[in-house]
């Protein structure tokens, strides 16, 4: 029987001819990433396990992203744990404040992720890397510590769900809207223990940046990993940045007779901008059907959006317009490279003239830590990935999830808005 | 190991943000995390929980973030076991790795009410509701999980592998 894309990647890195769902395998690890918030516990467990050196200093990237720039004394002390460890271990890819960014955008940008790789990250959105045709999954600190010592991990081969998109996306509709629709249909648990395999002509024609959203939000359906079939666009993206030589990139394709536990088919030709209402990422309806509630804060950023392309879209909506007088807007470019590019292209000027605040690259308010946290009874429209109770601040705040275009349109009007009504 | 305690019952999709909010995640100390366990779901939980008590919850317990602080906070609160219809994948792995007893048993979840007195035999995989005099059998652990449990958690498992025990 044929294999799915995830099965092929895992079989290759486990040194096996064939794997099937349910098989327990031990796979070699290409990247084992941790962040400032997950590494302190990982380092503690690493030491308890008797770890002395990480298995490969080139394969353990450490990224300051969650608590940066340090928000208080406690987070400053916490960040220091990873800083010291990185120096002791002579970690090759250590990303310090000012040269860093949100890990899930930074690692692909810096060329650390390649098709066919097995990637673990001590953060649930580590599924993002699958957009480059690799297996990538989030783990906790103890699994990460074991990975740092052993250079391998045990995995249960997941069943796969095939998700196929056809049709051309209408203007102002993006990958985020497509993925919100998948979150609606799979629910918070429809992908649990499963791989989500994304493909079809719409994705093949889609620029690289928009493909990351699918793999990123796979975890919002409980998925173990999300994978996009790598192609010539992936190759082109990698040529500018890859740290591995091209002959080591492993482009796999699912077999025609691969077995899937479920298939979802979408024609996106008439898709509208979508919105996830509080308090679940799968609580999704078209923006046009959402109540026009007043919005206190719009937040553009996170590992889901906050790419330069996302900022260009938001700037296009905001150019020559103002953020509504009773609304505030926070823009957080995902990495320092993106920040720099935003300045060069004049996007920062557009945001400032519109009355938005631009923050430094950080996970920030996306996980409710700082830089735009919500107060009681406030309503937020975020381009992030989760809107659980209390996720972005007070337990009695309401957060909606949208694309950058919808976020920018909402900022202009001060109520949840369809970009086509603002720009039109 | 026999665990006996009173039940604290919650619904489906108890996510890691409500188990331990991000604002308290700048700690790796079980007791510090335990002081805020389930704070955003049930503010009273930390005041009423007694050592050995049992959390019973619906489907997809522990969904969301991969933060291992979540099972650590529950373990630090001296909860004896978490019984759910099923667990989110990362939470499941994290719990086994750190030695927090967990069991999947949808029938038990449906039949048990908050405040019931429940006894759990971890080895036998049985859940006995002493208040209602009913016994349930939980789903067995996958082979690899049982191997880690038998080793006494992931730390011991790795120490064995690298010859440190």
Interface with chain B: mutation pick from A140, A141, A154, highest number of B CBs within 10 Å: A140
Query: What pLDDT, on a 0 to 100 scale, did the predictor assign at position A424?
Result: 76
Tell me the pLDDT tens digit for each residue of B49-90. Answer: 999 999 999 999 999 999 999 999 999 999 999 999 999 999
CATH number of A277-423: 3.30.499.10
- Which residues 14-43 in chain A show a CB within 8 A of chain B? 24, 37-38, 40-41
CA distance readout (Å), B52 to B77, B80, B118: 9, 4, 10
Query: What pLDDT, on a 0 to 100 scale, did the predictor assign at position A235?
Result: 98
What percent of chain B is predicted at pLDDT more than 70? 100
Q: Is B46 on the interface with A (CB under 8 A)?
A: no
What single DSSP character describes residue A245? Answer: -
Q: What is the mean pLDDT of residues A186-193?
A: 93
Q: Name every chain B residue with its beta carbon within 8 A of the beta carbon of A389.
A: 17-18, 40-41
Q: What is the mean pLDDT of residues A99-116?
A: 98
Residue identified by tokens 């909506």 is A317
Query: What pLDDT, on a 0 to 100 scale, did the predictor assign at position A397?
Result: 98
Distance from CA of A374 to the nearest CA of B (A): 13
State the span(s) of chain A assigned CATH 3.30.499.10.
5-266, 277-423
Q: What is the mean pLDDT of residues A208-226?
A: 97
Bridge partners of A34, per DSSP, are A62
CB contact under 8 A, A142 and B17: no
| Exposed/middle/buried for residue A341 (C-beta within 10 Å: 0-12, 13-18, 19+) | middle
The mean predicted confidence, pLDDT, of chain A is 97
Distance from CA of B26 to the nearest CA of A (A): 6
Query: What pLDDT, on a 0 to 100 scale, did the predictor assign at position B143?
Result: 85
Please, which residues have CB within 8 angstroms of residue A156's CB and are 6 or more apart in sequence? A22, A23, A24, A25, A193, B142, B144
Q: What is the mean pLDDT of residues A96-111?
A: 98
| Per-residue pLDDT band at B142 (split at 50, 70, 90) | confident
Helices (H), A217-296: 232-239
Q: How far apart are CA B158 and CA A133, in angstroms?
A: 30
- Which residues 108-137 in chain A show a CB within 8 A of chain B? 122-124, 126
Tell me the pLDDT tens digit for each residue of B2-34. Answer: 999 999 999 999 999 999 999 999 999 999 999
Query: What pLDDT, on a 0 to 100 scale, did the predictor assign at position A310?
Result: 98
Indicate the helix (H) or strand (E) that contains A120.
strand A118-121
Nearest to B63 among A74, A122, A188 (CB): A188
- Count of Cβ atoms closer than 10 Å to residue A386 Cβ: 29
Tell me the pLDDT tens digit for each residue of A284-322. Answer: 999 999 999 999 999 999 999 999 999 999 999 999 999
CB contact under 8 A, A139 and B98: no
Q: Is B36 on the interface with A (CB under 8 A)?
A: no
CA distance readout (Å), A45 to A40, A218, A248, B31: 9, 28, 32, 16
Q: Is B1 on the interface with A (CB under 8 A)?
A: no
Query: CB–CB of B52/A68 below 8 Å?
Result: no
Q: What is the mean pLDDT of residues A357-386?
A: 97
Select the more confidently predicted residue: A88 or B146.
Answer: A88
Query: What pLDDT, on a 0 to 100 scale, did the predictor assign at position A276?
Result: 98
Output b/e per residue, B56-94; b: 16+ Cβ within 10 A. Answer: bbbbbbbbbbbbbbbbbbbbbbbbbbbbbbbbbbbbbbb
Q: What is the mean pLDDT of residues B37-59?
A: 97
3-state secondary structure of A270: coil
Distance from CA of B27 to the nearest CA of A (A): 8
Query: What pLDDT, on a 0 to 100 scale, did the predictor assign at position A47?
Result: 98
Q: Is B2 on the interface with A (CB under 8 A)?
A: no
Please, which residues have CB within 8 angstroms of residue A283's CB and are 6 or more apart in sequence? A184, A276, A277
Query: CB–CB of A40/A82 below 8 Å?
Result: yes
DSSP, residue by residue, A374-416: BPTT-EEEESSS---TTTTB-TT-EEEE--HHHHHHHHHHSB-
Q: Name every chain B residue with its beta carbon within 8 A of the beta carbon of A50.
A: 158-159, 162, 164
Strands laid side by side in the B134-137 sheet: B102-104, B81-84, B54-57, B2-9, B117-121, B126-129, B134-137
Interface predicted TM-score of the whole assembly (ipTM), two decimals: 0.96
Q: What is the mean pLDDT of residues B95-116?
A: 97
Tell me the pLDDT tens digit for each residue of A14-66. Answer: 999 999 999 999 999 999 999 999 999 999 999 999 999 999 999 999 999 99
Query: What pLDDT, on a 0 to 100 scale, did the predictor assign at position A237?
Result: 98
Query: What pLDDT, on a 0 to 100 scale, did the predictor assign at position B1?
Result: 86
Q: How many CB pairs under 8 A join A and B?
A: 126
Please, which residues have CB within 8 angstroms of residue A301's CB and are 6 or more apart in sequence? A330, A331, A332, A333, A334, A359, A364, A365, A366, A383, A384
Distance from CA of A226 to the nearest CA of B (A): 14
- Which residues 39-58 in chain A show a CB within 8 A of chain B? 40-41, 44-45, 48-50
Interface with chain A: mutation pick from B67, B84, B104, highest number of A CBs within 10 Å: B67
CB contact under 8 A, A142 and B66: no
Q: Is B97 on the interface with A (CB under 8 A)?
A: yes
3-state secondary structure of A80: helix
Nearest to B40 among A138, A193, A389 (CB): A389
Architecture of the domain delimited by A5-266: 2-Layer Sandwich (3.30)
Q: Name every chain A residue with its beta carbon within 8 A of the beta carbon of B26.
A: 37, 67, 74-75, 78
């Amino acid at each position: 029987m044929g294999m799915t894309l995830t099965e092929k990647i895992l079989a290759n890195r486990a040194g096996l001819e064939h794997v099937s769902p349910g098989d327990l395998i031990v796979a070699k690890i290409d990247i084992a990433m941790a962040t400032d918030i997950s590494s302190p516990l990982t380092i503690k467990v690493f030491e308890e396990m008797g770890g002395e050196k990480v298995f490969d200093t080139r394969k353990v990237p450490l990224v300051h992203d969650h608590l940066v720039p340090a928000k208080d004394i406690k987070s400053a002390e916490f960040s220091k744990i990873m800083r010291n460890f990185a120096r002791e271990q002579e970690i090759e890819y250590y990303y310090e404040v000012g040269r860093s960014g949100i890990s899930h955008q930074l690692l692909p940008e810096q060329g650390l992720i390649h098709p066919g790789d097995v990637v673990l990250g001590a953060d649930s959105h580590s599924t993002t890397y699958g957009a480059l045709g690799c297996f990538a999954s989030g783990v906790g600190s103890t699994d990460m510590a074991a990975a740092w010592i052993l250079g391998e991990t045990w995995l249960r081969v997941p069943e796969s769900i095939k998700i196929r998109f056809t049709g051309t996306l209408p203007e102002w509709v993006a990958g985020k809207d497509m993925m919100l629709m998948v979150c609606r249909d799979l629910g918070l648990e429809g992908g649990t223990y499963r791989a989500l395999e994304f493909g079809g002509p719409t994705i093949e024609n889609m620029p690289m940046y928009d493909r990351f959203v699918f793999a990123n939000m796979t975890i919002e359906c409980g998925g173990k990993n999300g994978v996009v079939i790598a192609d010539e666009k992936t190759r082109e993206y990698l040529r500018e940045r890859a740290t591995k030589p091209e002959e080591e990139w492993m482009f796999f394709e699912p077999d025609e007779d691969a077995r899937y536990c479920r298939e979802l088919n979408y024609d996106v030709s008439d898709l509208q901008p979508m919105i996830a209402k509080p308090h679940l990422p799968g609580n999704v309806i078209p923006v046009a059907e959402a109540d026009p509630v007043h919005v206190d804060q719009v937040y553009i950023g996170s590992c889901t959006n906050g790419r330069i392309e996302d900022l260009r879209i938001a700037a296009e909506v905001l150019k020559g317009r103002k953020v509504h007088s009773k609304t505030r807007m926070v823009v957080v470019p995902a990495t320092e490279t993106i920040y720099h590019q935003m300045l060069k292209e004049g996007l920062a000027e557009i945001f400032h003239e519109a009355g938005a605040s631009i923050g430094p690259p950080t996970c920030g308010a996306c996980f409710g830590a700082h830089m735009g946290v919500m107060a009681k009874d406030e309503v937020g429209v975020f381009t992030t990935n989760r809107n659980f109770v209390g996720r972005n601040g007070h337990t009695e705040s309401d957060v909606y999830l949208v694309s950058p275009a919808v976020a920018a349109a909402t900022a202009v009007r001060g109520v949840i808005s369809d970009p086509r009504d603002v720009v039109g | 190991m026999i665990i006996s305690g009173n039940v604290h019952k919650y619904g489906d999709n108890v996510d890691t943000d409500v188990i331990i909010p991000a604002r308290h995640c700048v700690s790796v100390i079980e007791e510090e995390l335990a002081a805020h366990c389930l704070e955003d779901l049930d503010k009273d939980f930390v005041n009423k929980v007694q050592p050995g008590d049992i959390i019973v919850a619906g489907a997809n317990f522990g969904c969301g973030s991969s933060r291992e602080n979540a099972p650590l906070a529950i373990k630090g609160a001296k909860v004896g076991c978490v019984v759910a219809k099923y667990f989110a994948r990362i939470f499941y792995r994290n719990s086994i790795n750190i030695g927090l007893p967990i069991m999947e048993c949808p029938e038990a979840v449906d039949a048990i009410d908050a405040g019931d007195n429940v006894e759990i035999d971890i080895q036998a995989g049985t859940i006995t509701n002493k208040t209602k005099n009913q016994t349930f059998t939980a789903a067995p652990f996958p082979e690899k999980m049982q191997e880690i449990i038998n080793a006494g958690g992931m730390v011991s498992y790795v120490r064995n592998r690298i010859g440190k025990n």
